[in-house]
Amino acid sequence: MPATAESVDTIWFTRCPVPTAGGLAYALGRLATRYADLGVEVGILQDAPLEIARHHYDHDLVGLIREGGNVPAIAARAEGARTRLVGLTWIDEGQSIVVRPDSAISSPADLRGARIAVPGWAATRDTSHARAMALHGFKGALGLAGLTLDDVEFAEVPIDPVIPPGRVREERAAPRFRELDELAAGRVDAVYVKGAAALEAARARGAVVGVDLDAVPWRRARVNNGTPRPITVHEDLLRSRPELVVEFLVETLRAADWAAGDPDGLREVLAAETGSGAEGVLLAYREGFHRTLHPTLDDERVDLLRVQKAFLLRHGFLSADFDLDSWIDPQPMRLAYERLSSERP
């Protein structure tokens, strides 16, 4: 018999191998401690049996809280998933267009006519996030020079089957970067990379940064799968057990407060969370990032998520459109901030 919100005795938390306030709260032991006080266990979905872990993408699990890439979250909502958006983070994490050392590409304008690596389609829209990331990354870079995706040549790169969520830890230990191999072999001119592990892999293959998207002051140029990153919950859990959602947000905010005061401790946690070494963390996350982990639902982040949804719809990653504003429930975040405000001196 499927679990109902009233019968939930385990909160399942899922995230991608990237910096998240929730992942930090879990790594610090804060989530387990707080939920134990409420008589509820907390588990990582990637460690769950496959019949539960498969819900990483479809979010059809009442006790699931997901903090991860927006492509699967938006695609699941477009498919009719009964989720609500309760928070957004924005963490710049090393978005770049990388090229070979002998390349003439050193600015967005130089991308005109380039042969760019684009991962192929996965089995479903919500698991095709690698393709979506590359396309939007190149779109952002090209737009800085007044160019569009029509100004480059696509080179379709076959992708490996999507790793089942229950094997995410194995994938962290041995990630694949086929696009970078294509670049090194001279079959493509440019590759979009994001995050510590990818930047570390690019450097290991001798690639250099041709366009540094993080150096651009306009956030709109960096809208992608992880920017902004949504926190979503099942609407039944939010309706029947709202306190469990609020407690999750409170602990993420506390963890973000801790990170703001301990950047070295944060980098140590991120090396494990991202599956990269210390060098990758330094490459991807620049000075001051440790003060940016707090989730919000401010107008700027919502508007930037709206940009991402429109892009995904236009390029075939969504089965249908939906109203973004009706997806949002601001109440849990408001209560979480009120709780912390009352606790602070």
| DSSP notation for 151-212 | GSEEEEE--PPPPPGGGHHHHHHS---HHHHHHHTTS-SBEEEESHHHHHHHHHTT-EEEEE
pLDDT (average), residues 230-252:
96
CA proximity to 329, closest of 129, 119, 149, 82: 82
pLDDT at 169: 43
pLDDT at 73: 95
3-class DSSP state of 242: helix
CA proximity to 196, closest of 303, 120, 301, 272: 272
pLDDT (average), residues 143-168:
82
pLDDT (average), residues 202-219:
95
Bond before 164 cis per omega within 30 degrees: no
pLDDT band for position 291 (cuts 50, 70, 90): confident
Residue 254 near residue 336, CB atoms below 8 Å: no
Q: Which residues of 120-131 are buried (b: 16+ CB within 10 A; e: fewer)?
A: eebeebbbbbbb
CA proximity to 226, closest of 20, 88, 69, 19: 69
pLDDT at 308: 98
CA proximity to 314, closest of 145, 151, 136, 194: 136
Percentage of the chain lying above the pLDDT 90 cut: 65
CA atoms within 13 A on the CB side of 7: 5
pLDDT (average), residues 235-255:
95
pLDDT at 168: 44
| Minimum mean pLDDT range among 112-116, 186-190, 285-289 | 285-289
In this predicted model, which residue has the larger pLDDT, 284 or 273? 273
Residue pointed to by tokens 């990630």: 175
Report which listed range, 19-23, 24-28, 87-91, 270-274, is most confident: 87-91
Model confidence at 162: pLDDT above 70: no
Mean pLDDT of the residues in the chain: 88
pLDDT band for position 175 (cuts 50, 70, 90): low
Model confidence at 190: pLDDT above 80: yes
Distance in angstroms (rounded) separating the CA atoms of residues 142 and 86: 32
Each residue of 30-60: pLDDT tens digit? Answer: 999 999 999 999 988 888 888 888 888 889 9
pLDDT at 343: 80
Residue 315 near residue 73, CB atoms below 8 Å: no
- Residue 330 contacts by C-beta under 8 Å, 6 or more apart in sequence? 86, 297
Q: Which two tokens stand for residue 294?
A: 């707090």
* pTM (predicted TM-score): 0.91
- Strand-pair partners of 185: none
pLDDT band for position 160 (cuts 50, 70, 90): confident
Residue 180 near residue 193, CB atoms below 8 Å: yes
Rg over CA atoms, the chain: 20
Distance in angstroms (rounded) separating the CA atoms of residues 169 and 160: 16
Model confidence at 288: pLDDT above 80: no
pLDDT band for position 281 (cuts 50, 70, 90): low
CA atoms within 13 A on the CB side of 224: 29
- Distances in Å between the Cα of 144 and the Cα atoms of 207, 224, 232, 327 are 22, 15, 31, 31
Model confidence at 3: pLDDT above 70: no
35's enclosing H/E stretch is helix 30-37
pLDDT at 137: 98
Distance in angstroms (rounded) separating the CA atoms of residues 304 and 221: 10
pLDDT (average), residues 139-167:
86
| Minimum mean pLDDT range among 20-29, 114-123, 233-242 | 20-29
pLDDT at 279: 64
pLDDT (average), residues 231-244:
96
Model confidence at 273: pLDDT above 90: no
Each residue of 54-111: pLDDT tens digit? Answer: 888 889 999 999 998 999 999 999 999 999 999 999 988 889 999 999 999 999 999 9
